Structure 1
């Protein structure tokens, strides 16, 4: 289907919660590719078409993303049916460079790390600016289609009644926010250093893994980017120093972001709310994994920490709060269900 004969095809180890089977495809004298096979029934073919059409749009309009490679038939997606089960296949260009984790979180030698912070904001700002002019053929879902009070009430155990109430309150606040073209559109919805690669020669960033992309507020991606910064100072015991670092870090991110697009200052003021929304997304994902694996709901140290942030209205992921411990970041004693 894709002319991959003669390629060295290797399975990419799956991460927790992964929803696809992914392979690298390399052949001497040719650009490397990434082959993705979606096998779960939680996404329709139309939703997957919406994803790859959005990626193609971003690439064709100058977004720094890994482009979709068409099959020999000229299709962005192909479907293989085996034993009455559909496997939806797509191929991507492999992003140039490496992820930060592959470099043990060392940035380019001799270059200040602030370049990286700025470039993260800049590449995200470009994607959001392009989204403001995007008119989809096959539409992706809206953030609220998945994250709504009825679904969360059904997913979470009754022992988390306070959490359910707090999440319903959070969703009500989100529903009241502006959804104009400047504030709301297609977003990545999982923007972190695991989903882009850095060219260590130039510092340029290439974004991929749009599996969670949907219509939502641009501030959600910025909140994800804020959370990505905490790792640089998570071991600092002084809360004041952590807070100062995060202020400087996010200001640099916003400088890069603002070089490509504009965001309403009143939306920026909602950063604490959207950080809570990213915590909600993580919790929903964790409980979905438990359900899909047939496991009884349980709260480990990390989940317990996140739940307390939401139940007690502790802003900024508790990063500046007394509950945070630098020797055990983002962990609390596991709670019983």
Structure 2
């Protein structure tokens, strides 16, 4: 990295790595990622970077890993008896949507963006169907299981625990065949890809949560991402119409690269509930890792309410939803 200007990237809440932008005139920009927590193993990291390299080499629109001088995708450094895992990536071309004030390409319909979101995801899933890992990432149920839920979620939220275990029981009974279950990104959202605003091309990064799961989970994440485009619309019927149209274009892009069975798509409401579970678990993990007492702000309370009361589609078409305060609900006082 000699000659590169190296600048720290501001970390988001709950971030598990330190990352740096690396810029140099007449050279492709890079990202250094240093993992310092002991929550992941060498096997986890190798499983991640090998999957990224596989996707890149087979035409997936992802930020490739850069080999070290020793030819490795991952370097391991031990200092004062603490192990750091270091990776270098080519920086994705373009900008995040938020950096462009959520404005898409001038003169181009926003439906191109919806289509491309689905298409890039479909390509990754199609490649995953032919992927055999050397170092394997974990399985969804290795993390999301009744024992972990019981330890993580406070006992005062007993109904939530019960609903989460019921949800997991339903998932455990689902088919995990080659066409429906494989390596997924597990955090496919506009914070984890760049858009080339000259061409519309999307380049995906941050596979730190990638695991073996149903492909529909990533699609459900795309559905939840779409609500932001119409969250301030007061008419629930119009919100529903927008989401149906939005997701139809996403699926058109997705199906241009890979197939998905109609019977699986019928389970979209179930997997939107699974995305809520992931959000809730993540929120409590962040509190635990930061040494904070468990608490529920308005947004977390809203997500919990949707699961406890079996309200589908994140409550987006339900009376619980307020366009003035999207996805907010009264704070809960958790007493341990």
TM-score in same-fold range (> 0.5): yes
Q: TM-score, normalised by structure 2?
A: 0.99
Counterpart for residue 151 of structure 1: 148
Counterpart for residue 16 of structure 1: 13
Q: CA deviation at 1:303?
A: 0.6
How far apart are the structure 2 equivalents of 1:294 and 1:51?
28
Residue of 211, 236, 245 corresponding to 1:214: 211
Residue of 56, 67, 71 corresponding to 1:59: 56
Counterpart for residue 277 of structure 2: 280
How far apart are the structure 1 equivalents of 2:247 and 2:66?
34
Cα RMSD after superposing both structures: 0.5
How far apart are the structure 2 equivalents of 1:292 and 1:53?
28
Residue of 41, 48, 51 corresponding to 1:44: 41
Q: CA deviation at 1:92?
A: 0.3
1:110 partnered with 2:107: yes
Q: What's the CA shift string for 1:262-317, capped at 9, x where partnerless? A: 01111100001101101101111110111111111101101100000000000000
Alignment gaps of 5+ in structure 2: none
Q: CA deviation at 1:113?
A: 0.1
How far apart are the structure 1 equivalents of 2:328 and 2:197?
33
How far apart are the structure 1 equivalents of 2:14 and 2:276?
16
Q: CA deviation at 1:44?
A: 0.2
How far apart are the structure 1 equivalents of 2:52 and 2:11?
22
Q: What's the CA shift string for 1:106-157, capped at 9, x where partnerless? A: 0000000000000000000000000000000000000111011110011111
How far apart are the structure 2 equivalents of 1:181 and 1:187?
13
Number of residues of Structure 1 aligned to a counterpart in Structure 2: 334
Partner of 1:56, secondary structure, is helix
1:294 partnered with 2:291: yes
Residue of 229, 251, 254 corresponding to 1:257: 254
Structure 1 runs of 4+ off > 4 angstroms? none
Counterpart for residue 92 of structure 1: 89
Counterpart for residue 235 of structure 1: 232
Residue of 160, 182, 185 corresponding to 1:185: 182
Counterpart for residue 141 of structure 1: 138
Alignment gaps of 5+ in structure 1: none
How far apart are the structure 1 equivalents of 2:226 and 2:251?
13
Q: CA deviation at 1:177?
A: 1.2
How far apart are the structure 2 equivalents of 1:80 and 1:7?
21
The 5 A counterparts of 1:65-80 are: 65-80=62-77
Partner of 1:41, secondary structure, is coil
Counterpart for residue 129 of structure 1: 126
Counterpart for residue 315 of structure 1: 312
